[in-house]
């Protein structure tokens, strides 16, 4: 699992925020594993690069799962952090994901509505097709945008943001994400990650109010991902 950070992962930066293209396996912030997190690694990077004498302010705006790759926003000021956090909560940040799944017979595009219940002990979501006690309504829209020999590439837009939502809902319809053993994939990916990528972010800049649109290249050390991007 890759716990290093380098400046090639920075896809957008100004005085207010930094957007990172996270590698599979990188932690967005510290957890019980005690492994190095991007939050701390980026703080150290900024401190050295900008020769800052004091503490570096950096706030995590939203999370993506450790085995997932793609775009993560970090705020460099408290004002940007508070505004961006509200924007994410109000679903004013449009997130587009890419997922590689097996080439099974599923509709080319579909709106999936399920009910997800998070199990804290197993850190896994259980999916129900009908409203269920303690389960939250979970909605996503996907469309198939590329077909390879053994896989297909789905583009996904979320209407809700639930724990492991994309992973659990795709597994429920019979197409677990490539490498996602937790949700039924037959084998792991060589890098230990899963083939889910936070591909694109669109939002209004929290300070300048300009429209920001950012796209993250897929993991370049993976031949199937590269075939999807070609």
Res 3: pLDDT: 65
Asked whether 44 and 35 are in contact (CB, 8 A), the reply is no
Place of tokens 């709106």: 111
Architecture (CATH level 2) of domain 7-229: 2-Layer Sandwich (3.30)
In tens digits, the chain (230 residues) has pLDDT values of 456 888 899 999 999 999 999 999 899 887 777 788 999 999 999 999 999 888 899 999 998 999 999 999 999 999 999 999 999 999 999 999 999 999 989 999 999 999 999 988 888 999 999 999 999 999 999 999 999 999 999 999 999 889 899 999 999 999 999 999 999 999 999 888 999 999 999 999 999 999 999 999 999 889 999 999 87
Predicted pLDDT at 35: 81
Return the pLDDT at 2.
54
> Going by C-beta distance under 8 Å and a sequence separation of 6 or more, which residues neighbour residue 132?
115, 117
Please report the pLDDT score of residue 34 as a whole number.
Answer: 74
In this predicted structure, what is the pLDDT of residue 141? 97
Q: How many CB atoms lie within 10 A of CB 93?
A: 18
Name the active-site residue from 14, 35, 51, 65.
Answer: 65
Least Cα distance to 163 among 140, 138, 141 occurs for 138
Is the dihedral angle over the CA atoms 134, 140, 144, 146 positive or is it negative?
negative
Q: What is residue 1's predicted lDDT score, i.e. its pLDDT?
A: 47
pLDDT at 5: 86
For residues 156 and 164, the answer to whether their CB atoms sit within 8 Å is no
Is 65 a catalytic site residue? yes
Q: What is the pLDDT of residue 50?
A: 92
């Amino acid at each position: 699992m890759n716990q290093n950070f380098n400046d090639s992962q920075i896809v957008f930066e100004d005085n207010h925020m930094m957007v990172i293209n996270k590698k599979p396996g990188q932690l967005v912030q510290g957890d019980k594993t005690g492994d190095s997190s991007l939050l701390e690694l980026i703080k150290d990077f900024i401190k050295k690069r900008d020769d800052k004498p004091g503490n570096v302010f950096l706030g995590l705006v939203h999370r993506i799962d450790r085995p997932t790759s793609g775009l993560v926003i970090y705020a460099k000021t408290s004002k940007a952090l508070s505004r961006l956090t509200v924007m994410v909560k109000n679903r004013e940040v449009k997130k587009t994901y890419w997922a590689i799944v097996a080439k099974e017979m599923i509709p080319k595009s579909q709106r999936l509505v399920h009910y997800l219940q998070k199990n804290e002990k197993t850190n896994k979501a259980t999916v129900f097709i009908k409203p269920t006690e303690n389960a939250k309504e979970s909605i996503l829209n996907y469309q198939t945008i590329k077909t390879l020999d053994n896989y297909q590439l789905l583009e996904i837009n979320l209407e809700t943001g639930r724990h492991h939502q994309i992973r659990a809902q795709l597994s429920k319809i019979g197409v677990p994400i490539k490498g996602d053993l937790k949700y039924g994939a037959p084998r792991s990916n060589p890098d230990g990650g899963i083939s889910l990528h936070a591909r694109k972010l669109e939002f209004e800049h929290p300070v300048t109010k300009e429209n920001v649109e950012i796209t993250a290249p897929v993991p370049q050390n993976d031949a199937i991902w590269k075939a999807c991007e070609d």
